[in-house]
């Protein structure tokens, strides 16, 4: 059922992106979807007169929490425990998966329903559970499409953004029966018909499954409350119906108090879906009405990120995906090219920090940007993504030819006499520059002409004419 | 007021005409600009490609060369943005190692002597950054904010569209200053560029490291430019213009590219 390929061993970003950009259907789907959400976000953000202050508050609350993370985590643990929940600490993906699998096994069940969650995607929980004979059923509509299609998510908010209606219809007709209730015969690609097919398929699942797994958008330290924002209501079904609820949450999702939540309930929906308020906001504190509740607090590289003074701002991220929707590179490369559950600008700064930069793919991610800054402008918690990209570029290993070239350029720029001489040589050789450049520089002349080299540099003109006065 | 021209290495080497235009324009406005000959490069390429050590060395050189001027004007949004955005970061990154220097009351920190900005780790570097950075301006900022003009007396009877490059727009936040300057140029017909705020896909080494995406972005930009029917594409950064212009030229669109300075320097009779 779940034989999808792994991200590991994927080629570097430029290779993936070059393939994706050729796929005109994919580009059409992505362009349409990102531009629609982008426009909606822009208009609902413009409505809020104090958006800049809200954004500054969001940033400040997150920074404060991260600086005092240990204190607030302990407070959270105490509050959750007091409310009848069980708290587990997981240092990495393997430990988190082991804990969750153990908890599910203890219930005697072999299937679980899932609320859309990035943290469980990050640790590959579904695959880990499958290896233990436990089937995880995604219940978010887009996640369901991805799961049925044996596919990878390509967007944080809309994991199936790369699929259009007719592709979804085909996936439903072909795969739903394998996983449960089959799609109705004669299914059309009308959004309403597709949603109805998913509803019927999932309803059965909700009523029969006894264990649910979720993530959380926020955790409130003072009361031990978890918060999930969603659009479909499927999350609420998972959170309330099953007898056991297991939530896997990154340690950076913490907020000190309910008052802080107010800021984020404004920032997140407007940035994410472009709505003033999301349709469903669920909160729960500990074990509710006979339900058993487990909270798995996930580190998985986060404390390492916290140690980096520049890179740590990535932990402020609330996974709204506004940065994806405005990114011209994401729009053309698609989410899969980033080789991680975190695509787009946030992925380009988070993945290399969580996984390191030893693989070709991870080392290429900080370069998957023109540094145009559109992401920083829309980020509701003011993560300076270009700053972190530049910072991470200073950390990766560079190709030898580039190193030599950069060293030579640095040497020339060190002294104006050297630059003057280099400019004169270029001026003399100007007629010999080929229309097509060799090696890696051919990438430029493939689609663009080169500028003509002038016979005289500016500084030589200045000297000859005494600043244009002669 | 002592005003220095930071020509930038790209303009110096490849686009001396832009530099000459800046000099002509500023002189016409009664501003005598100096050209400190020791200048080279702000370090943008090294900093943005992941070579902070070289970048920092060039930053130090820049601070040395331009120390003491009241204003530094650069006809390049991305170079001005490198100084304004990245130099303070370099100063911050150097801060921890500078702590012991500051802690010693016996050796108070002195202002740097010209040409003697000490090691990157030093407090002197941070002081020089704090001193110089607010004085570095892109051409449109200098004209509108320092000289206080929008009508520079230019004449350019052509249909022009303007691309607000990313670093001018989102780095320096020059806003509508270039548009206000262009609107006052006699004879000039300014046509809006669709999706103007979207990046052209240059991104320095991005164009070479991610050529497929870069070319796809530039193809879209070129399509938007030609859709305006403009004869001239104008921007305040020759790096981006080289990229878009290279594509426009390869596609034989006949659209010319011109730096903002060149249009503002143009007068009746010339050109
Ligand atoms: S980095 Fe900012 S814009 Fe991007 S997903 Fe995170 S919070 Fe949203």
Report which protein residue has its CA nearest ligand 1's atom 7: A317
Q: Is the dihedral of CA A250, A251, A257, A259 positive or negative?
A: negative
Nearest chain B residue to A451, by CA: B242
CA-A385 nearest atom, ligand 1: 1
The band of B122, judged by pLDDT with boundaries at 50, 70 and 90, is confident
Which residue minimizes the CA distance to atom 4 of ligand 1? A323
Query: A229 φ, ψ to 5°?
Result: -105, 135
Minimal Cα–Cα distance from A116 to chain B, Å?
A: 30
Partners of residue A21 in chain B, C-beta under 8 Å: 212-213, 216
Cross-strand pairs, B189: B159
Residue A113 pairs with which residues in a beta bridge?
Answer: A137, A212
CA dihedral A196, A197, A203, A209 (to 10 degrees): -150
CB contact under 8 A, B61 and A413: yes
Query: If you measure from the C-alpha of residue A384 to the centroid of ligand 1, how many angstroms do you get, rounded to a whole number?
Result: 10
In ligand 1, the atom with minimum distance to the C-alpha of A314 is 1
Strand order in the sheet with A86-90: A86-90, A292-298, A244-250, A211-214, A111-114, A135-138
Instruction: Tell me what pLDDT residue B115 has.
Output: 47
- Gap between the Cα atoms of B236 and B192, Å rounded: 16
Confidence class of residue B118 from pLDDT cuts 50, 70 and 90? very low
Q: Please tell me which residue, A239 or B184, carries the higher pLDDT value.
A: B184
- Domain boundary assignment for chain B: 2-140, 150-265
Cβ–Cβ below 8 Å for A394 and B201: no
- Position B270 scores a pLDDT of 55
pLDDT in 10s for each residue of chain A, 470 residues: 333 445 667 889 999 999 999 998 899 999 999 999 999 999 999 999 999 999 999 999 999 999 999 999 999 999 999 999 999 999 999 999 999 999 999 999 999 999 999 999 999 999 999 999 999 999 999 999 999 999 989 999 989 899 989 999 999 999 999 999 999 989 999 999 999 999 999 988 888 899 999 999 999 999 999 999 998 888 888 888 899 999 999 999 999 999 999 999 999 999 999 999 999 999 999 998 879 999 999 999 999 999 999 999 999 999 999 999 999 999 999 999 999 999 999 999 999 999 999 999 999 999 999 999 999 999 999 999 999 999 999 999 999 989 999 999 999 999 999 999 998 988 888 777 777 887 777 878 888 888 889 999 999 999 999 988 88
Task: For residues B11 and B17, give the distance between their C-alpha atoms in angstroms, rounded to a whole number.
Answer: 8
Write down the pLDDT at residue A36.
96
Q: Tokens 């509050």 — which residue?
A: A79
Q: Which residue of B has its CA nearest to A326?
A: B198
In this prediction, residues B105-115 reach a mean pLDDT of 41
Contact B238, B259 (CB under 8 A): yes
Contact A387 B89 (CB under 8 A): yes
In B, minimum Cα distance to A414 occurs at: B58
Residue A388 DSSP code: H
| Cα–Cα separations (whole angstroms), residue B8 to B12, B18, B20 | 6, 11, 13
A225-230 and A280-285 beta bridge pairing: antiparallel
Length of chain B: 271
Q: Residue B84 pLDDT > 80, yes or no?
A: yes
CB neighbours (10 Å) of residue A469? 8
What DSSP string describes B39-104? ----SHHHHHHT-HHHHHHHHHHHHHHHTT-SEEEES-HHHHHIIIIIHHHHHHHHHHHHHHHHH-
Q: Give me the phi and psi of A357, to 5 degrees please.
A: -125, 35
- What gap in Å lies between CA B158 and CA B262, rounded to an integer? 13
Using the mean position of ligand 1's atoms as its centre, give its distance from the Cα of residue B262 in Å: 39
Q: How far apart are CA A350 and CA A314, in angstroms?
A: 6
Residue among A34, A270, A320, A375 to mutate when testing ligand 1 (max atoms within 8 A of CB): A320
Confidence band, pLDDT 50/70/90 cuts, at residue B104: very low
Count of beta carbons in the 10 Å neighbourhood of residue B103: 8
Residue of A nearest to B217 (CA): A328
Say which of B13, B205, B246 has its CB closest to residue A423. Answer: B13
- What tokens appear for A430 in the block? 């100007």
Q: Among A241, A317, A316, which Cα is nearest to A282's?
A: A241
3-state secondary structure of B37: coil
Report the percent of chain B where pLDDT is more than 90. Answer: 85
- What pLDDT is stored for residue A240 in this prediction? 87
Edge-to-edge order in the sheet of strand B3-5: B33-34, B3-5, B71-74, B136-138
Strands (E), chain B: 3-5, 33-34, 71-74, 136-138, 159-162, 189-191, 232-235, 256-259
B31-48 in b/e burial notation, b at 16+ Cβ within 10 A?
Answer: bebebbeebbbbbbbbbb
From chain B, the residues in CB contact with A38 under 8 A are none
User: In chain B, which residues have their Cβ closer than 8 Å to the Cβ of A18?
Assistant: 211-213
Looking at residue B95, its pLDDT comes to 60
Cβ pair B206:A453 closer than 8 A: no
Q: Phi and psi (nearest 5°) for A273?
A: -95, -5
| CB nearest A451 (choices: B14, B204, B216) | B14
Atom in ligand 1 nearest the alpha carbon of residue A271: 8
Contact A416 B40 (CB under 8 A): yes
Task: Give chain B positions within 8 Å (CB) of A454.
Answer: 14-17
User: Contact at 8 Å (CB) between A385 and A349?
Assistant: yes
What ipTM was predicted for this assembly?
0.91
Residues 6+ apart with CB under 8 A from A103: A244, A246, A294
**Probe residue for ligand 1, chosen from A55, A322, A326, A338 as the CB with the greatest number of ligand atoms within 8 Å:** A322
Confirm if B237 and B116 have CB atoms less than 8 A apart: no
Instruction: Write out the two tokens for B156.
Output: 């350019």
The residues pairing with A214 across neighbouring beta strands, listed in sequence order, are A247
Mean pLDDT value across residues B237-252: 94
Which protein residue's CA is at the shortest distance from atom 6 of ligand 1?
Answer: A317
Contact B47, B55 (CB under 8 A): yes
Domain spanning B150-265 has what CATH number? Answer: 3.40.50.11810
When CB atoms are compared, the residue of A393, A413, A463 closest to B40 is: A413
Q: To the nearest whole angstrom, how far is the Cα of B229 from the nearest Cα of chain A? A: 20
User: What is the rounded distance in angstroms from the CA atom of residue A247 to the CA atom of residue A252?
Assistant: 14
pLDDT the model gives residue B16: 96
Question: What is the total residue count of chain A?
Answer: 470
**Does ligand 1 come within 6 angstroms of the Cβ of A321?**
yes
Q: B197 to chain A: nearest residue by CA?
A: A374
Task: Tell me the shortest Cα–Cα distance from A375 to chain B, in angstroms.
Answer: 10
Closest residue in A to B243 (Cα–Cα): A448
Token pair listed for A40: 């909606």
Q: Which of B12, B199, B204 sits opposite A459 (nearest CB)?
A: B12
Closest residue by CA, ligand 1 atom 8: A320
Number of Cβ atoms within 10 Å of the Cβ of A189: 14
What's residue A294's pLDDT? Answer: 98
């Amino acid at each position: 059922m779940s034989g999808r390929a792994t991200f590991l061993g994927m080629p570097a970003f430029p290779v993936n992106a070059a393939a994706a950009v050729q796929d005109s259907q994919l580009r059409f789907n992505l362009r349409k979807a990102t531009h629609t959400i982008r426009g909606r976000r822009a208009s609902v953000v413009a409505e809020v007169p104090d958006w800049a202050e809200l954004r500054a508050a969001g940033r400040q609350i997150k920074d404060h929490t991260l600086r005092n993370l240990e204190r607030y985590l302990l407070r959270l643990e105490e509050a959750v425990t007091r409310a009848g929940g069980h708290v587990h600490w997981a240092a990495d993906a393997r430990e988190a998966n082991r804990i969750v699998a153990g908890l599910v096994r203890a219930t005697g069940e072999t299937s679980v329903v899932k609320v859309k969650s990035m943290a469980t995607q990050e640790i590959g929980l579904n695959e880990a559970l499958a290896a233990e004979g436990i089937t995880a059923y995604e219940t978010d509509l887009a996640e369901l499409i991805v799961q049925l299609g044996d596919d990878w998510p390509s967007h944080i908010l809309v994991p199936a953004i790369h699929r259009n209606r007719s592709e979804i219809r085909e996936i439903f007709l072909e795969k739903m029966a394998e996983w449960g209730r089959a799609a109705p015969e004669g299914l059309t690609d009308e959004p309403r018909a597709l949603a109805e097919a998913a509803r019927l398929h999932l309803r059965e699942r909700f009523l029969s499954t006894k264990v649910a797994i979720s993530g959380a958008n926020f955790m409130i330290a003072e009361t031990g409350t978890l918060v999930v924002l969603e659009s479909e209501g499927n999350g609420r079904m998972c959170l309330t119906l099953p007898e056991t609820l297991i939530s896997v949450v990154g340690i950076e999702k913490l907020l000190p108090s309910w008052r802080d939540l107010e800021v984020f309930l404004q920032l997140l929906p407007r940035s994410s879906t472009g709505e003033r308020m999301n349709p469903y906001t669920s909160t729960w504190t500990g074990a509710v009405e006979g339900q058993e509740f487990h909270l798995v607090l996930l580190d998985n590289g986060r404390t390492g990120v916290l140690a980096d003074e520049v890179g740590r701002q990535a932990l402020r991220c609330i996974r709204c995906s506004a940065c994806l929707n405005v990114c011209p590179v994401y729009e053309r490369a698609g989410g899969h090219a980033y080789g991680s559950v975190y695509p787009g600008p946030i992925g380009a700064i988070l993945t290399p920090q969580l996984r390191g930069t030893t693989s070709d793919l991870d080392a290429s991610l900080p370069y998957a940007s023109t540094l145009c800054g559109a992401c920083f402008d829309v980020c509701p918690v003011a993560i300076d993504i270009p700053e972190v990209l530049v910072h991470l570029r200073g950390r990766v290993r560079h190709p030898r030819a580039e190193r030599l070239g950069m060293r030579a350029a640095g040497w020339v720029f060190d002294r104006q006499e050297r630059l003057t001489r280099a400019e004169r040589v270029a001026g003399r050789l100007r007629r010999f520059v080929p229309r097509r450049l060799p090696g890696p520089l051919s990438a430029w002349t493939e689609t663009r002409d080169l500028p003509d080299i002038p016979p005289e540099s500016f500084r030589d003109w200045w000297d000859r004419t005494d600043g244009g006065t002669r | 007021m002592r005003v220095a021209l930071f020509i930038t290495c790209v303009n110096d080497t490849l686009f001396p005409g832009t530099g000459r235009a800046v000099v002509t324009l500023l002189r016409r406005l009664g501003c005598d600009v100096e050209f400190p000959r020791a200048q080279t490069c702000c370090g943008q390429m090294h900093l943005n490609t992941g070579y902070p050590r070289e970048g920092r060395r060039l930053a130090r050189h820049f601070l040395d060369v331009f120390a003491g001027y009241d204003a530094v004007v650069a006809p390049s949004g991305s170079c001005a943005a490198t100084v304004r955005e990245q130099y303070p970061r370099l100063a911050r990154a150097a801060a921890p190692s500078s702590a012991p220097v500051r802690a010693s009351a016996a050796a108070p920190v002195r202002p740097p002597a010209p040409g003697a900005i000490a090691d990157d780790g030093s407090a002197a570097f941070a002081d020089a950054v704090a001193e110089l950075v607010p004085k570095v301006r892109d051409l449109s900022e200098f004209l509108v904010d320092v000289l206080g003009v929008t009508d520079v007396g230019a004449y350019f009877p052509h249909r022009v569209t303007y691309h607000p490059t990313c670093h001018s727009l989102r780095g320096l936040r020059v806003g509508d200053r270039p548009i206000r300057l262009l609107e006052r140029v006699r004879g000039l017909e300014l046509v809006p560029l669709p999706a103007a705020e979207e990046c052209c896909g240059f991104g320095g080494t991005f164009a070479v490291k991610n050529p497929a995406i870069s070319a796809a972005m530039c193809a879209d930009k070129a399509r938007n430019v030609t859709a305006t029917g403009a004869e001239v594409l104008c921007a305040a950064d020759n790096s981006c213009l080289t990229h878009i212009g290279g594509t426009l030229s390869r596609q034989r669109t006949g659209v010319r590219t011109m730096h903002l300075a060149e249009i503002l320097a143009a007068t009746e009779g010339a050109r």
